[in-house]
Amino acid sequence: MGYTGLCVEARNVLSSQEGWPLHIRTLGYALLGLLARRPLWGYDLARRMKEPIGYFWYANHSQIYPELAALETNGFVTHEVVQQWDRPDKKLYSISEAGHAALQRWVMEPAASSPPRDELMVKAFSVWLADRDAAITMYRTHEREHLRQLAVYETQRAEVEARHGADVQRVDSPAFASYATLQRGIQHERGYAEWCGWMAEALERAQRGGTHSEEPSC
């Protein structure tokens, strides 16, 4: 999503059976959230960490398997090895009862606030210094990028609604949880595209010799 790339490595402390503190990173909870829906192969987890999780929480591929290993070591995840004769064996990962309890406990905890980091906003803060043609091109480019992502999300929303029907409105359904994050992505992309369009229009008016400034419509 447009609000991907969050950098906070929030940690929540749990107590292990031995009494030692255990730390589950946000990435770990994202993996548990996927496995709480159904067991997944390792490569499916990696793929789903790009879509849809990657839209709002970024992780490198190299981070996923060490995190899975840590979750399994601490009893939050289990795996079953499926042998294949013509290719490497596969691992099917499942969430354990302890993992489900940890995820359920974490979901109810207050979320840590992350300071915003938006390079385009920093550029906008000093936009009066910019070459107007270059600035117009930049904001129109960002507008198109956000409109493209918006179209992707809207297509996915239609697919989710068709696949899950009334379940997307049931707050006790995993379909609702997935739908909720998709709705947030749609709102973000639409708002950002509108703002970029407003910026480009203001610069274009100035380029034509106008001086009147309007508030963004979003």
CB 179 within 8 A of CB 160: yes
Is 111 a residue whose pLDDT tops 60?
yes
27 lies in some domain: yes
**82: confidence class by pLDDT, cuts 50, 70, 90:** confident
Distance between CA 72 and CA 84 in Å, rounded?
A: 23
Which pLDDT tens digit goes with each residue over 13-60? 344 444 434 689 999 999 999 999 999 998 899 888 887 787 788 888
Q: What is the DSSP string of 49-106?
A: TTTTGGGTS---HHHHHHHHHHHHHTTSEEEEEE--SSS--EEEEEE-HHHHHHHHHH
160 lies in some domain: yes
Distance between CA 136 and CA 133 in Å, rounded?
A: 5
Tell me which of 107, 135, 157 is where a domain ends: 107
First to last CA, the chain: 19
Domain that includes residue 101, residue range: 11-107
**211: confidence class by pLDDT, cuts 50, 70, 90:** low
133 and 165 together in one domain: yes
15 and 75 together in one domain: yes
134 and 91 together in one domain: no
Closest CA to 77 of 87, 86, 67: 67
> Which residues, other chains included, contact 65 with Cβ-Cβ below 8 Å and sequence gap of 6+?
42, 46
75 and 27 together in one domain: yes
52 and 81 together in one domain: yes
218 lies in some domain: no
pTM of the entire structure? Answer: 0.76
Mean pLDDT computed over 146-164: 95
Q: What's the domain count of the chain?
A: 2
Which pLDDT tens digit goes with each residue over 64-78? 999 999 999 999 999
> Which residues, other chains included, contact 214 with Cβ-Cβ below 8 Å and sequence gap of 6+?
198, 202
Distance between CA 187 and CA 91 in Å, rounded?
A: 37
